[in-house]
Amino acid sequence: MKFGKEFKKKMVPEWAEAYMDYNGLKRILRELREYKQRKHSRDLLDHKTAAAGAPPPNRTISGIELQISSLHGDIEDQVIDVNTLHGDGCRQFYKTKFLKQSEEGGEIEVTFFRKLDEELNKVNTFYKDKVKEVKQEANHLDKQMEALVALRIKVKNRKQYGSNSKRHRNSAVPLTSNKSSAADTSGNEPMGLTSENEKHQREPSPGASEVNPTHIKNPGSDDREVLNIYDYQEDPLEVLEHVKIKNTLESPISTIKCVFKDSREEELSFDKEELKRVEERLRAVFIQFYHKLQLLKHYSFMNLSAFSKIMKKYEKITSRRAARSYMLIVDNSDFGSSDEVTNLLERAEATFIQNFSNSNRREGMKSLRPKAKREKHGVTFFSGFFCGCSIALMVAIILRIEARKLMDKEEGAQYLENIFPLYSLFGYITLHLLMYAADIYFWRRYRVNYAFIFGFKKGTELGYREVFLLSSGLAVLALGGLLANLHLDMDSSAEKYKTLTELVPLGLLILVLAITFCPFNIIYRSSRFFFIWCLFRCICAPLYPETFPDFFLADQLTSQVQALRSFVLYICYYGLGEYSRRQTKCHSHGVYNTLYFIIAVIPFWMRFLQCIRRFCEEKDVKHMCNGLKYFSTIVAVIIRTAYELKKGKTSWMVLALICSAVATTMNMYWDIVVDWGLLRTKSKNKYLRDRLLVSHKIIYFAAMVLNVVLRLAWMQLVLEFKLSTVHKMTISTIIAFLEVIRRGIWSFFRLENEHLNNVGEYRAFKSVPLPFSYYDEDADKDE
pLDDT digit string, tens, across residues 564-592: 988 888 888 887 766 655 556 676 777 77
Which of 152-166, 221-235, 326-340, 625-639 is the least confident region? 221-235
> What mean pLDDT is predicted for residues 468-490?
88
CA 472 to chain centre: 25
Q: How many domains does the chain have?
A: 2
Q: Which long-range contacts (CB under 8 A, 24 or more apart) does 587-596 make?
A: 587/645, 592/568, 593/645, 595/568, 595/571, 596/565, 596/568, 596/641, 596/645
In Å, how far are 451, 702, 703, 758, 777 from 755, measured between CA atoms? 11, 21, 18, 5, 42
Q: If residue 114 lies in a helix (H) or strand (E), which one and from where to where?
A: helix 106-156
SS3 label, residue 659: helix
Residue finishing a domain among 500, 523, 546:
523
Which pLDDT score is estimated for 225? 39
Angle, nearest 10°, between helix axes 525-539 and 504-516? Answer: 100
Q: Read off the pLDDT band of 543 (50, 70, 90).
A: confident
Task: For residue 613, tell me if it sits in a domain.
Answer: no
Domain that holds residue 419: 379-445+463-523
Task: Output the CA torsion sign for 511, 517, 522, 525.
Answer: positive
Q: Where are the beta strands (DSSP E) in 162-321?
A: 214-217, 225-228, 243-246, 265-266
In Å, how far are 81, 133, 229, 258, 643 from 352, measured between CA atoms? 46, 20, 10, 31, 61
Q: How far apart are CA 768 and CA 547, in angstroms?
A: 12
pLDDT by residue (tens digit) across 38-94? Answer: 877 777 777 676 645 555 544 443 333 433 333 344 444 567 777 777 766 667 778
CA 297 to chain centre: 21
Count of other CB atoms within 10 angstroms of residue 484? 12
Q: Read off the pLDDT band of 491 (50, 70, 90).
A: low
CA 433 to chain centre: 18
Angle, nearest 10°, between helix axes 561-575 and 504-516? Answer: 120
Residue finishing a domain among 220, 240, 269:
269
Position 781, amino acid: K
Task: For residue 702, tell me if it sits in a domain.
Answer: no
SS3 label, residue 713: helix
Task: Output the CA torsion sign for 292, 294, 297, 299.
Answer: negative
Structure-model confidence comparison of residues 716 and 281, the more confident one: 281
Task: For residue 519, tell me if it sits in a domain.
Answer: yes
Q: Rounded to 10 degrees, what is the CA torsion of 181, 185, 188, 191?
A: 70
Structure-model confidence comparison of residues 409 and 397, the more confident one: 397
Task: For residue 232, tell me if it sits in a domain.
Answer: yes
> What mean pLDDT is predicted for residues 456-475?
91
Mean pLDDT of the chain: 78
Q: How far apart are CA 622 and CA 611, in angstroms?
A: 9
261 lies in the same domain as 392: no
Q: How far apart are CA 770 and CA 334, in angstroms?
A: 29
Residue pair 43/60 in contact (Cβ under 8 Å)? The answer is: yes
Residue pair 761/229 in contact (Cβ under 8 Å)? The answer is: no
Q: How far apart are CA 756 and CA 770, in angstroms?
A: 27
Could you write out the DSSP letters of every residue in 524-540? SHHHHHHHHHHHHHHHT
Which pLDDT score is estimated for 186? 35
Count of other CB atoms within 10 angstroms of residue 43? 17
Residue pair 488/498 in contact (Cβ under 8 Å)? The answer is: yes
Task: For residue 736, tell me if it sits in a domain.
Answer: no
Residue pair 689/683 in contact (Cβ under 8 Å)? The answer is: yes
Report the b/e string of 262-292 with b at 16+ CB within 10 A. eebebebebeeebbebbbebbbebbbebbbb
Which pLDDT score is estimated for 641? 81
384 lies in the same domain as 509: yes
> What mean pLDDT is predicted for residues 646-654?
73
- What are residue 42's DSSP bridge partners? none
Which of 52-66, 91-105, 614-628 has maximum average pLDDT? 614-628
Of the candidates 23, 129, 121, the residue with the CA atom closest to the CA atom of residue 329: 121
pLDDT by residue (tens digit) across 343-363? Answer: 999 999 898 898 888 888 888
pLDDT by residue (tens digit) across 144-188? Answer: 888 888 888 888 776 554 444 444 333 333 323 333 333 333 333
> What mean pLDDT is predicted for residues 680-704?
91
Residue 408: pLDDT above 60? yes
Which pLDDT score is estimated for 185? 35
CA triple 682-683-687, angle to 5 deg: 95
Residue pair 155/272 in contact (Cβ under 8 Å)? The answer is: yes
Residues 6+ apart with CB under 8 A from 541: 550, 554, 606, 609, 610, 613
Which pLDDT score is estimated for 579? 62
In Å, how far are 179, 342, 731 from 297, measured between CA atoms? 41, 7, 56
Residue pair 629/555 in contact (Cβ under 8 Å)? The answer is: no
- Quote the pTM value: 0.82
Residues 6+ apart with CB under 8 A from 447: 13, 16, 693
Task: For residue 87, tell me if it sits in a domain.
Answer: no
394 lies in the same domain as 263: no
Residue pair 637/578 in contact (Cβ under 8 Å)? The answer is: no
251 lies in the same domain as 387: no
User: Any idea what DSSP says for residue 248?
Assistant: -
Structure-model confidence comparison of residues 163 and 301, the more confident one: 301
Residue 292: pLDDT above 70? yes
Q: How far apart are CA 600 and CA 191, in angstroms?
A: 58
Q: Kindly report whether the peptide bond that precedes residue 542 is cis, defined as omega within 30 degrees of 0.
A: yes
pLDDT by residue (tens digit) across 432-452? Answer: 999 999 999 999 999 999 999
> What mean pLDDT is predicted for residues 403-425?
76
Q: Read off the pLDDT band of 364 (50, 70, 90).
A: confident
HSE on the CB side for 539, CA within 13 Å? 7
249 lies in the same domain as 383: no
Q: Read off the pLDDT band of 367 (50, 70, 90).
A: confident
Q: Read off the pLDDT band of 392 (50, 70, 90).
A: very high
> What mean pLDDT is predicted for residues 335-341?
82
> What mean pLDDT is predicted for residues 241-250?
70
Count of other CB atoms within 10 angstroms of residue 342? 13
> What mean pLDDT is predicted for residues 267-285?
81
HSE on the CB side for 423, CA within 13 Å? 25
Counting every residue written for the chain, the total comes to 783
Residue finishing a domain among 251, 269, 287:
269
Which of 62-76, 132-146, 251-265, 530-544 is the least confident region? 62-76
CA 769 to chain centre: 18
Residue 395: pLDDT above 90? yes
Q: What percent of the chain has pLDDT over 70?
A: 74
Task: For residue 111, tell me if it sits in a domain.
Answer: no
Residue 782: pLDDT above 70? no
Structure-model confidence comparison of residues 670 and 34, the more confident one: 670
Q: Where are the beta strands (DSSP E) in 418-467?
A: none
Residue 662: pLDDT above 80? yes
Which pLDDT score is estimated for 175? 28
> Taking the CA atoms of the chain, what radius of gyration do you get in angstroms?
34
Task: For residue 505, tell me if it sits in a domain.
Answer: yes
Q: How far apart are CA 79 and CA 466, in angstroms?
A: 55
Count of other CB atoms within 10 angstroms of residue 301? 12
Count of other CB atoms within 10 angstroms of residue 68? 9
